[in-house]
Amino acid sequence: MDAYDQGADRTRDPDPADPPGPGDPAPEPPGPDRTGPAERSGPGEPSGPADLSEPGGAAVPDGPGGPSRPTGPVDPGALPEPSEPPAPSEASAPVVAVDRGGAGPAGVAALSPRYQAVAALALAVAAVTVCVHLGMVFLHVAPSNTLSKQHSGAIDDWVYPEFEQNWKLFAPNPLQQNIAVQVRADVGTADGGVRTTGWYDLSAEDGRAIDGNPLPSHTQQNELRRAWDFFLSTHDANNRPNGQRGALARTYLTRIVLLRLGREDAAGDGGTVQRVQVRSRTTNVPPPRWSGEKVSDRPTYRVLPWWPISDADLSRDAKPAGAAQ
3-state per-residue secondary structure call for 114-137: HHHHHHHHHHHHHHHHHHHHHHHH
Q: Output the pLDDT for position 164.
A: 77
Domain range for residue 233?
177-313
Looking at the structure, do residues 190 and 137 belong to the same domain, yes or no? no
Q: Output the pLDDT for position 183.
A: 96
Distance, in Å, from the CA atom of 145 to the CA atom of 212, rounded to the nearest integer, reads: 30
Looking at the structure, do residues 166 and 182 belong to the same domain, yes or no? no
List residues bridging with 235 in a β-sheet: 241
3-state SS class at 289: helix
Looking at the structure, do residues 294 and 232 belong to the same domain, yes or no? yes
> Would 251 be classed as within a structural domain?
yes
Looking at the structure, do residues 198 and 264 belong to the same domain, yes or no? yes
Asked if residue 262 lies in contact with residue 183, where contact means CB atoms within 8 angstroms, the answer is: no
Percent of the chain with pLDDT over 90: 34
pLDDT tier at 44 (50, 70, 90 boundaries)?
very low
Element (H, E) at 274: strand 272-284
Looking at the structure, do residues 166 and 277 belong to the same domain, yes or no? no
Looking at the structure, do residues 142 and 227 belong to the same domain, yes or no? no
Distance, in Å, from the CA atom of 184 to the CA atom of 277, rounded to the nearest integer, reads: 6
Q: Output the pLDDT for position 147.
A: 86
pLDDT (mean) for 244-250: 92
Q: Output the pLDDT for position 49.
A: 46
Global pTM value: 0.48
pLDDT above 80 for 12:
no
Distance, in Å, from the CA atom of 261 to the CA atom of 307, rounded to the nearest integer, reads: 14
Q: Output the pLDDT for position 37.
A: 46
Distance, in Å, from the CA atom of 282 to the CA atom of 296, rounded to the nearest integer, reads: 11
Among the ranges given (224-228, 254-258, 308-312), the one the predictor scored with the smallest mean pLDDT: 308-312
Mean pLDDT of the chain: 75
3-state SS class at 149: helix
> Would 189 be classed as within a structural domain?
yes
Higher pLDDT among residues 215 and 33, named by residue: 215
pLDDT tier at 277 (50, 70, 90 boundaries)?
very high
DSSP state of 163: T
Distance, in Å, from the CA atom of 52 to the CA atom of 311, rounded to the nearest integer, reads: 136
Tens-place pLDDT, residues 134-160: 999 888 888 788 888 888 889 988 988
Looking at the structure, do residues 289 and 220 belong to the same domain, yes or no? yes
pLDDT (mean) for 9-38: 52
DSSP secondary structure string, 212-241?
T-SS--HIIIIIHHHHHHHHHHTB-TTS-B
What distance lies between CA 177 and its chain's CA centroid? 42
Looking at the structure, do residues 232 and 286 belong to the same domain, yes or no? yes
In the chain, how many domains are there? 2
Any idea what the Cα angle at residue 72 is, between residues 66 and 78, rounded to 5°?
85
Looking at the structure, do residues 139 and 249 belong to the same domain, yes or no? no
Nearest one of 261, 180, 176 to 228, comparing CA atoms: 180
Looking at the structure, do residues 208 and 146 belong to the same domain, yes or no? no
Tens-place pLDDT, residues 176-203: 889 999 999 999 888 889 999 999 999 9
